[in-house]
């Protein structure tokens, strides 16, 4: 027998004549439904912090987010076992998929596996709304008011995991969208074999894009903005390239994939300039930024700014009872004076787990 009460209901005066309309007061509203919020939903449900009836999820698609929509065929930089370990940490049951635990999978496999597992936990009673949240408002001790298009909702705790946009560089050379740059097939929409492509960013994504462009017959300029072009996890680098991508990165360093790849330090402005002049296209694979976030007002005062929605990376808290997670609001790690953003399923899981006491407190009252 379930001890969770049904969600509270708010009597609200209707502007029309007739009985008062009733709107639901949810305990937890998840805005965005990608990897980070699937993990959070799995955590709060598997640990009985909320009942599915008390959760509202708002997302334009409910498809599993960018892993499925934008990067389905990109090979993961984590093994399948690391994904399962992230679920174990949060107490989420493992999916029934049969993949080699020691190998990485395509990202769509992780998105499908996560979606299926969490779908079982959510059951049929969870509420879903489709659309983009544009505004959050809180007045005094009242719950959050959430606006998505013409709809509005209320919830006592709200969580944002709305993804992020690949950072664009101010180049004169046109840029291929990042999600079109990982495969020969989608690159062929933009490039012909005689073309030269400039890729900004020597990391997991950059190496995979270089490989796809060389396989398409193109020459590639790879621009790196660090003291050396690649860092390797097996040499102890935090956030270094790993698994198959480390093999590829070493091939790029060894012979430029048969002389097709030229490595250029970003600090060499003349070389970057001349690379761009000779390139028909470029790709920016150098980080992400939060762009389409909701406006947030507390007691009538905006807590968002024109360029950001400030949050505490150590706690995930934007405001009491308003959290931010995932690639849009990542935790950070500082080592030897350098700060890294922690963007992966294992790091999202670790961040959620670290905030379990605060989550439990917010969801119990």
Q: Which one, 143 or 326, has the nearer CB to ligand FAD?
A: 326
State yes or no: residue 162 binds ligand FAD (CB under 6 A): yes
Cα distance from N-terminal residue to C-terminal residue, the chain: 21
Q: How far is the CB of 54 from ligand FAD (least distance, A)?
A: 19
What's the CA gap between 258 and 318, in Å, rounded? Answer: 49
Q: Is 72 in the site for ligand FAD (CB under 6 A)?
A: no
Q: DSSP 3-state assignment of 276? A: helix
Token pair in block for residue 93? 């049951």
Beta pairing partners, 264: 223
CA distance 213 to 271: 20
Q: Given candidates 60, 217, 240, 287, which one binds ligand FAD under the rule CB under 6 A?
A: 60
CA dist list (Å): 144 to 12, 60, 136, 296: 15, 20, 7, 10
Three-class DSSP category at 263: strand
CA distance 288 to 329: 11
Q: Tokens standing for 53?
A: 């009836």
Query: Six-digit token pair at 364?
Result: 């119990």
When asked if residue 36 is in the footprint of ligand FAD (CB under 6 A), the reply is: yes
Nearest to 207 by CA among 246, 234, 258: 246
Stretch that binds ligand FAD, among 158-166, 222-230, 245-253, 311-319 (CB under 6 A): 158-166
* Residue 322 is a binding residue for ligand FAD (CB under 6 A): no
Which range in 5-13, 35-43, 216-224, 234-242 contacts ligand FAD by CB under 6 A? 35-43
Residue 353 CA to residue 350 CA, distance in Å, equals 5
Using the minimum distance from each CB to ligand FAD, give the nearer residue, 56 or 67: 67
CA distances from 232 to 118, 199, 203 (A): 33, 19, 10
Of 56, 92, 109, 133, which lies in the binding site for ligand FAD, with binding defined by CB under 6 A?
Answer: 133
Positions 203 through 222 that interact with ligand FAD (CB under 6 A): 205
Kindly tell me which residue out of 28, 44, 78, 187 binds ligand FAD, with binding defined by CB under 6 A.
Answer: 78
From the CB of 46, what's the least distance to ligand FAD, in Å? 18
Nearer to ligand FAD, 177 or 320 (CB): 177
How far is it between the farthest Cα atoms of the chain?
77
> Min. distance of Cβ 239 from ligand FAD in angstroms?
12
32 is an interface residue for ligand FAD by CB under 6 A: yes
Q: Which of 109, 126, 197, 327 binds ligand FAD (CB under 6 A)?
A: 327
Interface contacts to ligand FAD, rule CB under 6 A? 31-37, 58-61, 65-67, 71, 74, 76-78, 107, 132-133, 161-163, 205, 292, 294, 326-328, 343-345
């Amino acid at each position: 027998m379930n001890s969770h009460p049904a969600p509270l209901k708010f009597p609200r005066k209707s502007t029309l004549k007739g009985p008062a309309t009733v709107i639901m007061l949810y305990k937890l509203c998840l805005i965005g439904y990608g990897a980070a919020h699937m993990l959070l939903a799995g955590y709060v449900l598997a640990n009985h912090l909320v009942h599915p009836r008390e959760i509202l999820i708002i997302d334009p698609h409910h498809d599993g987010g960018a892993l499925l929509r934008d990067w389905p065929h990109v090979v993961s930089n984590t093994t399948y076992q690391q994904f399962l370990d992230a679920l174990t940490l949060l107490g989420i049951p493992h999916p029934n998929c049969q993949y080699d635990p020691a190998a990485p999978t395509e990202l769509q496999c992780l998105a499908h596996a996560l979606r299926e597992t969490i779908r079982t936990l959510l059951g049929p009673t969870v509420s879903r709304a489709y659309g983009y949240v544009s505004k959050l408002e809180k007045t005094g001790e009242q719950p959050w008011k959430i606006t998505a298009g013409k709809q509005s909702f209320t919830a006592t705790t709200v969580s944002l995991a709305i993804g992020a946009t690949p950072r664009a560089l101010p180049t004169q050379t046109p840029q291929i969208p990042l999600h079109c740059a990982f495969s020969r097939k989608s690159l062929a929409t933009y490039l012909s074999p005689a073309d030269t492509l400039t890729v900004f960013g020597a990391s997991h994504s950059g190496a995979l894009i270089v490989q796809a462009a060389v396989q398409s017959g193109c020459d590639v300029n790879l621009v790196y903005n660090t003291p050396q072009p690649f860092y390797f996890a097996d040499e102890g680098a935090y956030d270094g390239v790993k698994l198959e991508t480390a093999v590829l990165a070493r091939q790029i360093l060894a012979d430029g994939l048969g002389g097709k790849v030229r490595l250029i330090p970003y600090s060499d402005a003349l070389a970057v300039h001349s690379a761009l002049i000779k390139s028909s296209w470029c790709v920016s694979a150098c980080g992400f930024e939060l762009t389409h976030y909701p406006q947030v007002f507390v007691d009538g005062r905006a807590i968002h700014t024109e360029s950001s929605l400030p949050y505490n990376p150590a706690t995930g808290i934007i405001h009491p009872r308003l959290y931010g997670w995932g690639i849009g609001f990542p935790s950070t790690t500082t080592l030897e004076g350098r700060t890294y953003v922690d963007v992966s399923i294992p790091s999202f899981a670790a961040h959620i787990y670290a905030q379990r006491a605060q989550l439990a407190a917010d969801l119990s009252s």
